[in-house]
A and B are shown apart, each in its own frame.
Chain A
Amino acid sequence: MERVADPLAVGKPSALRTQSETIGFLIMVAALVIGPFVTYPLFLMQAMCFALFACAFNLLIGYVGLLSFGHALYFGWASYLSAYAAKAWGLTPELAILTGTVTAAVCGLVAGSLAIRRQGIYFAMITLALAQMMYFFALQAKFTGGEDGIQAVPRGHLFGLIDLRNDMVMYVVVLVIFLAGFGFIHRIIHSPFGEVLKAIRENESRAISLGYKTDRYKLVAFVLSATLAGVAGATKAIVLQLASLTDVNWPMSGEVVLMTLVGGLGTIFGPVVGAFVILVMQFKLAPIGEWVLVIQGVIFVTCVLLFRRGVVGEIANKLRIRL
Chain B
Amino acid sequence: MFEMFGISSQALFGQLLIGLINGSFYALLSLGLAVIFGMLNIINFSHGAQYMMGAFAAYLILQYSGLGYWPALIIAPILVGITGVIVERLFLQWLYKLDHLYGLLLTFGLALIFEGVARNYFGSAGLPYTVPESLQGGRNLGFMFLPNYRAWVIGGSLVVCFGTWFVIERTRLGAYLRAATENPTLVRAFGINVPRMITLTYGFGVALAAFAGVMAAPIYNVSPQMGSELIIVVFAVVVIGGMGSILGAIITGFGLGVIEGLTKYFFPEASNTVIFVIMAIVLLVRPAGLFGRRA
Contact = CB atoms under 8 A, between A and B. Distances in A.
Do the two chains touch directly in the complex (Cβ atoms below 8 Å apart)? yes
A291 B112 CA distance: 10
Interface stretch (B59-67, B94-102, B212-220, B245-253): B94-102
B86 interface: no
A129 B239 contact: yes
A132 B277 CA distance: 11
Given A301-B91, A301-B113, A304-B109, A137 B273 contact: yes
Contact of A300 (B43, B105, B233, B238): B105
A129 B235 contact: yes
Contacts of A300: 105-106, 108-109, 112
Interface in B113-160: 113-117, 119-120
A297 interface: yes
B99 A1 contact: yes
Given A129-B232, A140-B272, A291-B116, A118 B99 contact: no
Interface in A108-158: 114, 117-122, 124-126, 128-130, 132-133, 136-137, 139-140
A303 to B, nearest CB: 8
B120 A132 contact: no
B105 A122 contact: no
Contacts of A126: 239, 279, 283
Interface extent on A, as a size class? 35 or more
A4 interface: yes
Interface extent on B, as a size class? 35 or more
B116 A293 contact: yes
Max chain A Cβ within 10 angstroms of own Cβ: one of B43, B94, B116: B116
A120 B100 CA distance: 7
A118 B101 contact: no
Contacts of A298: 109, 113
Contacts of B295: 118-119, 122
A1 B233 CA distance: 30
A133 B276 contact: yes
A305 interface: yes
Contacts of A30: none
A250 interface: yes
A215 B155 CA distance: 45
A233 B115 CA distance: 27
A296 B112 CA distance: 7
B31 interface: no
Interface of B: 43, 91, 94-95, 97-106, 108-117, 119-120, 228, 232-233, 235-236, 238-239, 243, 269, 272-273, 276-277, 279-280, 283-284, 287, 295
